[in-house]
Structure 1
Amino acid sequence: MTVRVRFAPSPTGMFHVGGARSALQNWIYAKQQGGVFVLRIEDTDAARNKPEWTEGILSALDWIGISRGSYEGPYFQSANAGEHRAAAARLYESGRAYYCDCTREDVQARTGSQYQGYDGYHRDRGLGPGPGHALRFRTPDEGATVVIDLIRGEPTFENKLIEDFVIARGDGSPVFLLANVVDDMTMGITHVIRAEEHLPNTPKQQLLWEALGVKPPIWAHVPVVVNEKRQKLSKRRDKVALEAYRDEGYLASAMRNYLMLLGWAPSGDREIVPWSVIEDEFRLDEVNLSSAFFDEKKLRAFNGEYIRALPVAEFVDACQPWLTGTDTIAPPPWQPEEFDADAFAAVAPLAQTRIAVLSEIVPNVDFLFLASPLIDEAAWTKTMKDGSAELLDDAVAAFEALESWDAESLKSTLEAVGAERGLKLGKTQAPVRVAVTGRTVGLPLFESLEVLGRERTLTRIRAARLRLV
């Protein structure tokens, strides 16, 4: 038997990080088993679907390494509408489903039966199809439905506690529960790997598989992803869009490594490992049952480690969207002609050790490419105290006299300027840093001044001095 797994997102919004984790888990399992990964776009919610959301799904999968052409699909659920209706008809004709015209108020008015929710009122009343007549599945009264789950063992559900659930609406359109089952059957899906939030629907889906005469798939329900308050990640409350992390400058390699750690861990006391190790070691039956905490701070730390591990040339290339403002990235504060690739290459090794996401490269290097620095007024107020004007005068004079404009000479010169005033280097260089870069923190000062050059450095210090008059 060829293993066939599917990832079936809906094109109704940005790509959820929890969905990205499910996609990766399905992808790896298929590769391990020599199977097939199927992408199905569940697009039957016409009111909320947008073509750009479908493209967003495809591009997000590309980004995390599930590239177009390497999987089967994408298929679209809407294209299978005829099969959905045919399956509903077969279930009715075989007696496994019946029509019901009860309203929600009718169902709520009747209580005290053995059923949860709907009490089977129309089971044997012989109501036929018609406007407003929903089709309900006839759940067995006795026995239990056992779900074979690679993570959770064999969850068992008493059939008498499962209501006769709707499989087609009053207008004849099948509900998602039935459509999902029919699509999986049509596509020959053998394993369904998804979040545990879908587990309550699984016995209903399994009953549908069996009623339609097809062996159910093997299930695997992975733990739900939660925030720091142990609440399920929500689009309305939490930062969950994979695209947002991509556009902020998270590396795909860091993101997919971190996502795979949500509920699972590689062997040994390690978390940052090559992707090939994850592909080799991941096992569904080793996934934890407890909820998986999506820790953005930890992801950020992960990303910083991945950035620092890049060869410098790759780091320079990775920063280009933020430096040039290409694609959907916000444009930098300088004009394209002001950007100096050689200057950036000179400071890139320094910047690489100081940023956690690629978008942080802009405030670290903007002073190199702007005619004048962007002054942080809070930093200016904090730094430019009594005596700063005189200190800047002395720095200008000392720097003007330098024969060699290099980091070591600049450092020793400014150190001497501070010593004459009884100041340590940290106190001495703070006003100079703000004057030249506009900030109190950033790249190493003297290496930055070396790249900026004598003329631009002196011009900025003089301008700061005039502001202190």
Structure 2
Amino acid sequence: MGADQHRMVIMRVRFPPSPTGALHIGNARTALYNWLLARGSGGQLVLRIEDTDRERSTPENVDLIFESLEWLGIDYDEGPIYQSQNAERHAGVVQQLLDEGKAYRTTAGPDVVKAYKEANDNRGFRGQEESEGAIRLRMPDEGVTVVNDIIRGETAFENVLLDDLVIARADGTPVYHLAVVVDDSDAQITHVVRGADHYSNTPKHLRIYDALGATPPTYAHLPLLHGTDGKKLSKRHGAASVSDLRNSGYLREAVVNYLALLGWGYDDKTEFFTVEELQRNFSLERVSKNPAVFDELKLRHMNGRYVRELSVEDLTARLEEFTGREGLKPAVEITQEKISTLAEFWPLAGSFYDGPSDDPKAREKFLEPPESRTALEQVRAALDGLPEPWSASSVEEALRVVPEALGMKPKAVYQPLRVTLTGTTVSPGIFDTVALLGREETLKRVGRSLEA
């Protein structure tokens, strides 16, 4: 008996994505919150793939979900359970509700429902039982259905205003509302943590639980995510999915940290959390009911701090995986302080490996003026006599005298050199750049520029 009681109090949460595309940032946050709750409470997370939309629920999209969750470090204790495989169970429940008189068939469509409401002071639709048509759950005419939400508080919905709920189509195929309740009930889910866009569904789901004689879970509806313009988060705000973030070179630790803060906060000061700290401190009671703003600039700032705190070896390994190139450590050492995402590395360091890029505007501005040629000739002369091995400090000592000797500002000397060596106006420090390229390659690139 004691063991049974212990099992009953274990928190069981679920993450039920629909595999109709990449894992959206909002859904990723929902997955993260459920995972943090499960891991922080010693509970269990169930992964359910809601794949009843057979046209859009492709194997490729399912794989995208798995890959995104794995990249975020979100594991699960049960699943994946595929909702489509429960079709027989769903159909059985629909038939049970019909047999018990708790549901009925009706051919009433939207026009009939609208006319009924207009004729009855906008009361909830109540249909007449027919031999065919969609199947609706009977709603009571008296009392209220009370939603107790951890985040949004308590709300009472008058039953008389609730339409008899469609739970299956005319062909008997159950709709979302019925399927999700049956699946959650069968899986003994104790807490349903989902987006606020599902809040209006909750009284409907509670009526289904009541009709089944099942105990409903505790609900918590998370605030929606908005862009910085206050509108619902979408592709126009930049990254819209976990795949977008990964491909943009964000670190998983930063993404998890930032997603956790979209609606939740431990205090007014702490912004940086390890995964272990999030698991220990996260609670639904600290989640706001106000919409949260996804600001990619803030994520980039946070990511930059994570990048700079990595060891050179760790960052090198990540960059080599991200770029598909090897031998990057020397360039990582001189760029780590300058990049905020993995994607920013190659534009800074690519010229070390692939040669200078070609920026016509930079070439015209910094290489074509006669004084630039004079500067490069003096640079070549200063470096030609510099003994090896070169270091940033020895290069700096050799080149510091050039601007003064020519009566030019340092930028008028070093920027033409930068464009000569990298092809662009942006690079790591010019002395670091020269030292990394080394004597042979540096003098070759300067010579090629002077001969052009």
TM tier relative to shorter chain: over 0.9
- Give the superposed CA RMSD: 1.7
Separation (CA, whole Å) in 1 of partners of 2:213 and 2:45? 24
AA aligned to 2:385 is A
Deviates more, 1:201-210 or 1:223-232: 223-232
Secondary structure of residue in 2 paired with 1:38: strand
Q: 1:366 matched to which residue of 2? A: 350
Separation (CA, whole Å) in 1 of partners of 2:236 and 2:332? 37
Q: 1:373 to 1:236 in 2, by over 3 A?
A: closer
Measure how far apart 1:427 and its partner are. 2.4
Separation (CA, whole Å) in 1 of partners of 2:30 and 2:141? 34
| Pair 1:346-2:330 in alignment | yes
Q: 2:403 matched to which residue of 1? A: 418
Separation (CA, whole Å) in 2 of partners of 1:432 and 1:78? 63
Q: 2:111 matched to which residue of 1? A: 105
| Pair 1:453-2:441 in alignment | no
Q: 2:372 matched to which residue of 1? A: 388
Choose which of 334, 350, 361 in structure 2 pairs with 1:378: 361
Separation (CA, whole Å) in 2 of partners of 1:58 and 1:421? 61
Question: Is the 1:435–1:461 contact (alpha carbons within 8 Å) kept by the matching residues of 2?
Answer: yes
AA aligned to 2:157 is F
Secondary structure of residue in 1 paired with 2:400: helix
Q: 2:40 matched to which residue of 1? A: 32
Measure how far apart 1:177 and its partner are. 0.8
| Pair 1:252-2:252 in alignment | yes
Q: 1:439 matched to which residue of 2? A: 424
Percentage identity across aligned positions?
39
Q: 1:270 matched to which residue of 2? A: 270
Question: Is the 2:257–2:273 contact (alpha carbons within 8 Å) kept by the matching residues of 1?
Answer: yes
Measure how far apart 1:63 and its partner are. 1.0
Q: 1:400 matched to which residue of 2? A: 384
Deviations 1:296-343 (A, max 9, x none): 110111111111111111011110123326xxxxxxxxxxxxx6x2xx
Secondary structure of residue in 2 paired with 1:353: helix
Q: 1:336 matched to which residue of 2? A: none
Measure how far apart 1:268 and its partner are. 5.1
The TM-score, its normalising length taken from structure 1, stands at 0.90
Question: Is the 1:107–1:119 contact (alpha carbons within 8 Å) kept by the matching residues of 2?
Answer: yes
Deviations 1:152-175 (A, max 9, x none): 121221111211121111111011
| Pair 1:355-2:339 in alignment | yes
Question: Is the 2:249–2:342 contact (alpha carbons within 8 Å) kept by the matching residues of 1?
Answer: yes
Measure how far apart 1:117 and its partner are. 8.4
Separation (CA, whole Å) in 2 of partners of 1:5 and 1:127? 39
Measure how far apart 1:149 and its partner are. 1.1
Question: Is the 1:351–1:361 contact (alpha carbons within 8 Å) kept by the matching residues of 2?
Answer: yes
AA aligned to 2:12 is R
Instruction: Show structure 2 runs of 5+ residues with no match.
Output: 1-7
Question: Is the 1:193–1:221 contact (alpha carbons within 8 Å) kept by the matching residues of 2?
Answer: yes
Measure how far apart 1:9 and its partner are. 0.2
Secondary structure of residue in 2 paired with 1:62: helix
Deviations 1:33-73 (A, max 9, x none): 22110000000000111101111111111111113xx4211
Question: Is the 1:42–1:77 contact (alpha carbons within 8 Å) kept by the matching residues of 2?
Answer: yes
Q: 2:25 matched to which residue of 1? A: 17
Q: 1:161 matched to which residue of 2? A: 161
Q: 1:241 to 1:413 in 2, by over 3 A?
A: same
Q: 1:25 to 1:379 in 2, by over 3 A?
A: same
Measure how far apart 1:111 and its partner are. 4.5
Which structure features the higher share of helix residues? 2
The TM-score, its normalising length taken from structure 2, stands at 0.94
Q: 1:48 to 1:323 in 2, by over 3 A?
A: closer
| Pair 1:78-2:78 in alignment | no
Separation (CA, whole Å) in 2 of partners of 1:179 and 1:245? 32
Number of residues of Structure 1 aligned to a counterpart in Structure 2: 442
